[in-house]
Each structure stands twice: as C-alpha cells, then as structure tokens.
C-alpha cells in the first residue's frame, strides 16, 4: 500500500468506487472529526439527477449537523471545485486533503485564500480512476465540470 494513503483516504477511494459501481462519477469524500469518520459520500449527480450532489456535498449531508467544523478534516479523491470549496469555507473546515488535482485543478487557491490548509497527495490510484472514467465518459465528465 502507498504510505501516502491513510485509512481515511482509503475510505474516500472506496466511496469513489461505489459511485462508479452505481453508474456515477468516481469521486469520493469523507469528513473526519476527532479521529473518526463522521460522514462519507460520493458524487451522485447521475444517480440522483441532481447537479449539486458532488461527493463533498453528499459527505457533508451524510455527516449531518456536527456543530463546529474547525477541527474537522475533509478528504476528497479529487481537488474540490468551487461549489464544494465554498461549503468548506462556509462551514469553517480548516484542512482539506485531496487525492489528486491533475485531472481537475479545483479551487485550491480559493480555499487557501480563506485560511484552509490544502494538501494534494497526488495519488496515482485517484488519477487512474478518473483517467479511466473520463476516457469512457467524456461528455458526462464535461457536464460535471461545467464545460
């Protein structure tokens, strides 16, 4: 196992793979608070026919109201977009760990400009998951990122 992949990122990757198995876009996310996963989710835009059910949004919904978010960490297999980065900033999440940003640069600078520590693990497994998906579903991917 890659030493850069802890069990939290493994859980996010498992969420991404679940989304892919459901016919959706393979992006997964988990929210960690006090060393425990309190929410998990995956991109369900296709499954729910909902343009804003990104992995991070699904994860936050599934976590429910947890009070203060400042000591939580959001893991995502892909660098969060502006929609999801806005939620990170809105709720005061101070740390985001992304599996990769090569496929999609996301809103790293936006989050950092609002005091969020953003770590890009540049994981080959996350990049390959997206590369394979985009090769088979280019129109769906373009829709997901607003092209």
DSSP result, 68-116: --TTEEEEESS---HHHHHHHHHHT--EEEES-SSS--TTHHHHHHTT-
Q: Which residue has the tokens 């369900």?
A: 44
Q: What is the pLDDT of residue 2?
A: 59
Q: How far apart are CA 16 and CA 35, in angstroms?
A: 21
Catalytic residue at 100? no
* Domain ranges, ordered by start, for the chain: 7-139
Of the listed 15, 56, 100, 125, which one is catalytic? 56
pLDDT value for 4: 65
Instruction: Choose the CATH number for 7-139 among 3.40.50.150, 3.30.2350.10, 1.20.1250.20, 3.40.140.10.
Output: 3.40.140.10
Paired tokens of 56:
């991070």
Tens digit of pLDDT at every position of the chain (147 positions): 555 679 999 999 999 999 999 999 999 999 999 999 999 999 999 999 999 999 999 999 999 999 999 999 999 999 999 999 999 999 999 999 999 999 999 999 999 999 999 999 999 999 999 999 999 998 888 777 767
pTM equals 0.94
């Amino acid at each position: 196992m890659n030493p850069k992949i802890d069990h939290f990122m493994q859980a996010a990757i498992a969420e991404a793979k679940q989304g892919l198995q459901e016919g959706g876009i393979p992006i997964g996310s988990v929210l960690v608070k006090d060393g425990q996963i309190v929410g998990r989710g995956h991109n369900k835009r296709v499954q729910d026919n909902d343009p804003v059910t990104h992995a991070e949004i699904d994860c936050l919904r599934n976590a429910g109201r947890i009070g203060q978010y400042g000591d939580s960490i959001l893991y995502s297999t892909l660098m969060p977009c502006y929609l999801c980065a806005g939620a990170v900033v809105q709720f005061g999440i101070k740390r985001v760990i992304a599996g990769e940003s090569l496929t999609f640069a996301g809103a790293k600078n936006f989050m950092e400009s609002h005091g969020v520590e953003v770590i890009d693990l540049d994981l080959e497994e996350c990049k390959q998951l997206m590369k394979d998906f985009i090769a088979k579903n280019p129109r769906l991917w373009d829709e997901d990122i607003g092209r």
